[in-house]
Amino acid sequence: MDSRSTIRGMYKSPTRCFHIGNADESSGRFSGTLYETLDTDGPQLSISGYFTFHDNLLCTKLWFQALGLNWNFTAYYVNKRPAFAMFYSENSNPINNENFEKPPLQMI
């Protein structure tokens, strides 16, 4: 299974969620939607950003811009392989300083 299928999906924090709909490993780009609440019928923004595998650090970095902020996250490898159960926030602003988890039913 390639990264495009494993990184795609819905990720939820305690207050909002984002969806990665498309991901291209060769360019390191993705696109999707940031939902400003947990209600996916509520306010939403189209997002596009980047992701990079860091085998030496055993993590994947993901970042995008939305709501006038930079959003930066790290997903740590499991058994030395990319894993996307949780994106940990590297943001200091309270607006975007939340971790995002992929619900278990979407885990591949």
Chunked in runs of 10, what are the mean pLDDT values of the chain (108 residues)?
A: 70 94 94 93 94 95 92 94 93 86 68
Q: Which long-range contacts (CB under 8 A, 24 or more apart) does 57-61 make?
A: 60/7, 60/84
Is residue 15 situated within a structural domain? Answer: yes
Check residue 6 and give its pLDDT: 83
Is residue 61 situated within a structural domain? Answer: yes
CATH number at residue 71: 2.40.128
Is residue 108 situated within a structural domain? Answer: no
Q: What span, in angstroms and rounded, lies between the C-alpha atoms of 50 and 48?
A: 7
The whole domain housing 37 covers: 3-102
Is residue 107 situated within a structural domain? Answer: no
Q: In this structure, are residues 84 and 3 in contact, taking their beta carbons and an 8 Å threshold?
A: no
Q: How many domains does the chain have?
A: 1
Check residue 89 and give its pLDDT: 95
**Considering the entire predicted model, what is its pTM?**
0.86
